[in-house]
Amino acid sequence: MNDQSNLRSPLGRVRGLGSAKDGTHHWWAQRLTALALIPLTIWFVGAVVSLIGADHAAVAAWIASPVVAGLLILLIVATFYHAALGLQVVIEDYVHGEGAKIALLLFVKALTIVLSLSAVLSVLTLLFTRA
Partner 1 sequence: MISSNRPLSPHLQVYRPQITSTLSILHRLTGIALAAGTLLLTYWLVAAASGPEAFATAQGLIGSFIGRLLLFGWSIALFYHLCNGIRHLVWDAGYGFEIEAATRSGWMVVGASVVLTLATWALGYAMMGGA
- From 53, 74, 61, 56, select the one nearest 116 (Cα to Cα): 74
**8-47 footprint of partner 1 as x/- string (CB under 8 A):** -----------------------x--xx-xx--xx--x--
Handedness of CA 55, 60, 66, 69 (dihedral sign): positive
Q: Residue 82 Cβ, how far from partner 1 at the closest point, in Å?
A: 9
**98-127 footprint of partner 1 as x/- string (CB under 8 A):** --------------x--xx-xx-xxx-xx-
Cβ atoms within 10 Å, residue 12 = 13
Q: Which residues bind partner 1 (CB under 8 A)?
A: 4-5, 7, 31, 34-35, 37-38, 41-42, 45, 49-50, 52-53, 55-57, 59-60, 63, 72, 76, 79-80, 83, 86-87, 90, 112, 115-116, 118-119, 121-123, 125-126
